[in-house]
């Protein structure tokens, strides 16, 4: 694909839960990011306050729920192929009675791989994610950051073009937070078309690793009262701003300025 072509198009999504309008006319596109001589996937941050509908949006993209109206399309406007979307929930659900390695093998088999192929891919992923020494551990024996690594690897045993992550920075200590931000970028850059969409309210972490930042929020009426039905309120193209693909971005003198701007915009969502 050529640079700038649409990889994911979310168009005019509407969804109600009971009498509550959760999403209303929500639209955005994710475009292919290309750097000369560097394999570069996409990392898209979706910022929004708790309860605004971020997790609901991920479920719609993953095909777990159907919208009341609107479409989710992949490259060329086609429906996303079955099995092309992985979703890592905030709770990192793993089979408690299975080892780390077995959790990955089961995921591979569920996606149509033979046991031997699933095992080979699982071992390679555990090595890449620095979890080989924990292969025989059970989920209860892992830290939160380690469980998250396994949950991500679980989605990648069978190749996924799109990886959706629900609050990936929540509840992690500073060391684990740094590890997972690096891991997300690594996963995205495993293939030119890989696209990670993460929803979060962690502004700083999202700014540090995203190439595009969408802000999901609700309108307000003339009196300042929140109107139900969230949609994209603001977009930051961090590539055009020169704030993407940079190590130690937080040390750049311009970083505090954009961080303050995004925090101020967040308050109005």
In a domain? residue 109? yes
Tell me the pTM.
Answer: 0.91
Is 262 found in the same domain as 168? yes
Q: Report residues of the chain scoring pLDDT below 50.
A: none
What was the pLDDT predicted at 1?
Answer: 54
Is 250 found in the same domain as 165? yes
Question: What is the number of domains present in the chain?
Answer: 2
Q: Domain of 218: which CATH number?
A: 3.40.50.300
What was the pLDDT predicted at 3?
Answer: 67
Task: Show the domain range for 262.
Answer: 6-84+161-267
What was the pLDDT predicted at 2?
Answer: 61
Entry field: residues in the chain: 269
In a domain? residue 1? no
Calculate ∠ Cα 84-90-96, nearest 5°. Answer: 90
Is 123 found in the same domain as 80? no
Helices (H), the chain: 54-62, 100-110, 115-128, 144-156, 174-188, 203-209, 255-267
Is 151 found in the same domain as 68? no
């Amino acid at each position: 694909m050529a640079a700038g072509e649409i990889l994911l198009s979310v168009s005019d999504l509407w969804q109600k839960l009971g009498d509550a309008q959760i999403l209303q006319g929500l639209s955005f596109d994710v475009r292919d990011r290309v750097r000369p001589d560097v394999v570069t996937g996409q990392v898209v941050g979706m910022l929004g306050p708790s309860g605004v509908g971020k997790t609901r949006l991920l479920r719609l993209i993953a095909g777990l729920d159907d919208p009341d109206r609107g479409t989710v399309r992949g490259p060329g406007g086609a429906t996303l192929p079955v099995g092309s979307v992985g979703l890592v929930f905030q709770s990192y659900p793993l089979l408690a009675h299975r080892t780390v390695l077995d959790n990955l093998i089961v995921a591979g088999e569920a996606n149509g791989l033979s046991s031997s192929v699933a095992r080979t891919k699982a071992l390679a992923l555990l090595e890449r994610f620095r979890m080989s020494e924990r292969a025989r551990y059970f989920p209860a024996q892992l830290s939160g950051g380690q469980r998250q690594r396994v949950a991500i690897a679980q989605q990648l045993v069978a190749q996924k073009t799109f990886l959706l992550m629900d609050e990936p920075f929540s509840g992690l200590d500073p060391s684990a937070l740094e590890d997972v931000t690096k891991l997300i970028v690594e996963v995205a850059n495993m293939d030119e078309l890989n696209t990670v969409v993460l929803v979060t309210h962690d502004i700083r972490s999202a700014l540090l690793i995203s190439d595009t930042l969408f802000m999901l929020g609700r309108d307000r009426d003339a009196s300042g009262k929140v109107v139900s039905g969230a949609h994209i309120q603001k977009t930051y193209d961090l590539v055009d701003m020169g704030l993407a693909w940079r190590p130690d971005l937080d040390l750049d003198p311009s970083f505090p300025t954009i961080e303050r701007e995004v925090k101020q915009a967040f308050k109005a969502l």
